[in-house]
Amino acid sequence: MSQGLKIVTIGGGSSYTPELIEGFIKYHEELPVKEIWLVDIEEGKEKLEIVGELARRMVAKAGVSIDIFLTLDRRKALSGADFVTTQLRVGQLAARALDEKIPLKHGVIGQETNGPGGLFKAFRTIPVMLEIAKEMEELCPDAWLINFTNPAGMVTEAVLRYSGISKVVGLCNVPIGMERGVADLLNVDPARVRIDFAGLNHMVYGIDVFVDGKSVKSEIIELITDPDKAITMKNIHAMGWEPSFLRGLNLFPCPYHNYYYKTGDVLAQELKDAEKGETRAEVVQKLEAGLFELYKDPELAIKPPQLEKRGGAYYSDAAVRLIRSMYMDKCDIQAVNTVNHGAITGIPYESAVEVSCIITKDGPKPITVGELPIAVQGLVMQIKSFERVAIEAAISGDYEKALLAMTINPLVPSDRVAKLILDEMLEAHRAYLPQFFRKKVFV
């Protein structure tokens, strides 16, 4: 577009938004963004205004010609958009706190994208994302949907399977975080690091790790057995790995694999945190309160360094890098969530996978991996089956499908426990789950 690009960010009142704005400022010469529309809902209006004013100060300080619009009218914002980014949280942090606390009462890990918490975040989020996709089909049919909203893999799969748009890419900061982590461990420039990724969102493996084109996977595997050198995220405790296990696996696990390979250890840590009132949701609520106080400062005109504690490090780098590469047809390699198209053997052709892709103006082109190593095939396929059944339940409001999804998740020990958690969480989130209460009371 000669007059510049229109970017729409749904969930614009998020504390992450300044990081996104920083990215668009940084690459403005290559990525001619003219308008950024920040969209939120009535409950998020105050945060939207605080973040929006900070965004305007950031743009003014940088001296770039980007107009910032704030609105609660999603349709108005979407009209004529070129890229739509989504970073929403249905039910806000209070819902996340329930997602974490209720499973813990039943001796099950409580986490916002894995296990019961991830399931219920999907139940609340997928119907809203499909509404957005429908509006995009009408108002900006040529726009790309860049989804950061978790659980990103399930959301991407739902949009691919159940909406009328195909121009959707799911994005996560885990792959870029792993690459930056390797760069830090080896004390090299991140641009020299490349990881070949394959798997699913929050279930992705580094198949190989390269510096300047030379494999360093064995060296990285040895380094990350040390808890002090584990590559993790703000929301996941670093625990290190058993050296013999990692050597046997011969893959570079992502931080979220802690939940599956160290289930008991993680559960014990979460229970300890919960006793102190320090579940991740509670920690984030305090961080957010502090961030928004900072954002209100009329003298603040940059992204404050405190935002890095929030857990979303590198989101702006990942998001703007992806949009820039698509706009410029750069054909560089990035790991994203996209339709499989045969890249990973055994996962359905039309399913969403997280895999290294060549990024073009026509979207991501997955790099063929073939079969995943036998040691991880079963776990990956179990999670994919969980995702598929969970999406069906989210759309249909079918209680039996919801119970099936909960039970087949590897973090849930039995159908009995699954039912206890499911019933309690359905009631707790009733306001955001109308699909489950239209037909009949669950029994």
Q: Annotated catalytic sites, by residue?
A: 256
Two tokens, residue 171: 């994005």
The DSSP H or E segment spanning 174 is helix 174-186
Tokens linked to 383: 């999670």
* Cβ-contact 404, 362 below 8 angstroms: no
Neighbours of 166 (CB within 10 A): 10
Please give the DSSP secondary-structure letter assigned to residue 344: B
Which amino acid is present at 413? P
- Answer whether 100's CB lies under 8 Å from 279's CB: yes
Beta bridge partners of 366: 357
CB neighbour list of residue 113: distance below 8 Å, 6 or more residues apart:
121, 150, 151, 152, 201, 202, 256
Using CA atoms, how far apart are residues 69 and 52, in angstroms rounded to an integer? Answer: 8
- Cα angle 91, 147, 138; round to 5: 95
Write down the number of H helices and E strands in the chain: 16, 13
